[in-house]
């Protein structure tokens, strides 16, 4: 099987601290992999290695078969990233932000096409021409999803995307992720949200102190079982 996102013995050290301990991970097209763990467990380090923001101490991260560390520019063609707070230009409208970021990726869309991507991502039509500075967090995330779709991203990396969202916005975001996975996008989501992971995840991993200690198919666990499994690992960590 060909994996869209893969880590092979991926390790990251900072002076006397090991942030990631030899991670092995494979994610296929259309899969949603949810990574649970406490703050400092290594979730964001993992994402930053896949983005090429930091260099591994050893091992390698791969996107669409390319080693990230030596092909940072190449892998950007396949990647989209949505952090906890989506970084957009507040003085530009939703449409202007989408036009800018898609043009940086080499795409030139008409206003009608830009509108289609934004509305498809769940942004209200009357918000498309408003400045992003007035958007809620959920609306900014929808622009982020629209950018990912407009870029034809094969991989979507998410870092705590549902943090601070109200239940309605969180549900809408989950629906967007499920739609993207059905279109073949590989999704890697670092999160604290156990119940959202169960709702959208194909597989769920638990990370503790830089180590992936368990991976379970989401279908094998109900929400309470997943919560108990997670808490048991966190108790061991203490």
Instruction: Report percent pLDDT > 90 for the chain.
Output: 68
pLDDT given at position 40: 87
**Greatest mean pLDDT among 36-40, 110-114, 163-167:** 110-114
pLDDT given at position 125: 93
What mean pLDDT value characterizes the chain? 91
Quick one: pLDDT band at residue 178, thresholds 50, 70, 90?
Answer: very high
Provide DSSP, 129-176.
TSBGGG--HHHHHHHHHHHHHHTT-SEEEEESTTTT--HHHHHHHHHH
Whether the CB-CB separation of 82 and 158 falls below 8 Å is answered with yes
pTM over 0.75: yes
pLDDT given at position 46: 96
3 state DSSP class of 223: helix
pLDDT given at position 236: 60
Tell me what the mean pLDDT of segment 24-38 comes to: 95
Tell me what the mean pLDDT of segment 39-60 comes to: 94
Whether the CB-CB separation of 27 and 188 falls below 8 Å is answered with yes
Among the listed ranges 16-25, 39-48, 85-94, 164-173, which one has the minimum average pLDDT value? Answer: 164-173
**Six token digits for residue 138:** 């959920």
Instruction: Report percent pLDDT > 70 for the chain.
Output: 98
Quick one: pLDDT band at residue 217, thresholds 50, 70, 90?
Answer: very high
Whether the per-residue pLDDT at 131 is higher than 90: the answer is: yes
Quick one: pLDDT band at residue 140, thresholds 50, 70, 90?
Answer: very high
Whether the per-residue pLDDT at 1 is higher than 60: the answer is: no
pLDDT given at position 163: 82
Closest C-alpha among 173, 169, 170 to residue 187? 173
pLDDT given at position 33: 97
Spatial separation of the C-alpha atoms in residues 32 and 187, rounded to whole Å: 5
């Amino acid at each position: 099987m060909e994996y869209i996102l893969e880590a092979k013995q991926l390790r990251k050290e900072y002076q006397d601290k090991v942030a990631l301990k030899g991670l092995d991970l494979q994610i296929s097209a259309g899969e949603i992999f949810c990574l649970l763990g406490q703050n400092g467990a290594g979730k964001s380090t993992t994402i930053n290695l896949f983005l090429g923001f930091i260099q591994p101490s050893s091992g390698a991260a791969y996107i669409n078969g390319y080693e990230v560390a030596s092909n940072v520019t190449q892998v950007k063609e396949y990647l989209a990233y949505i952090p906890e707070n989506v970084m957009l230009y507040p003085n530009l409208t939703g449409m202007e932000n989408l036009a800018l970021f898609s043009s940086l990726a080499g795409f030139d869309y008409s206003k009608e096409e830009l509108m289609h991507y934004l509305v498809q991502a769940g942004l209200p039509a009357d918000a498309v021409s408003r400045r992003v500075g007035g958007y809620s967090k959920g609306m900014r995330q929808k622009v982020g999803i629209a950018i990912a779709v407009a870029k034809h991203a094969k991989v979507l990396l998410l870092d705590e995307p549902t943090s601070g969202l109200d239940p309605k916005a969180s549900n809408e975001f989950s629906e967007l992720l499920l739609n993207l996975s059905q279109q073949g996008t590989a999704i890697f989501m670092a999160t604290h949200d156990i119940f959202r992971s169960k709702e959208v995840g194909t597989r769920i991993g638990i990370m503790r102190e830089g180590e992936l200690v368990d991976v379970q198919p989401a279908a094998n666990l109900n929400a309470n079982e997943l919560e108990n499994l997670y808490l048991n690992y966190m108790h061991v960590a203490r």
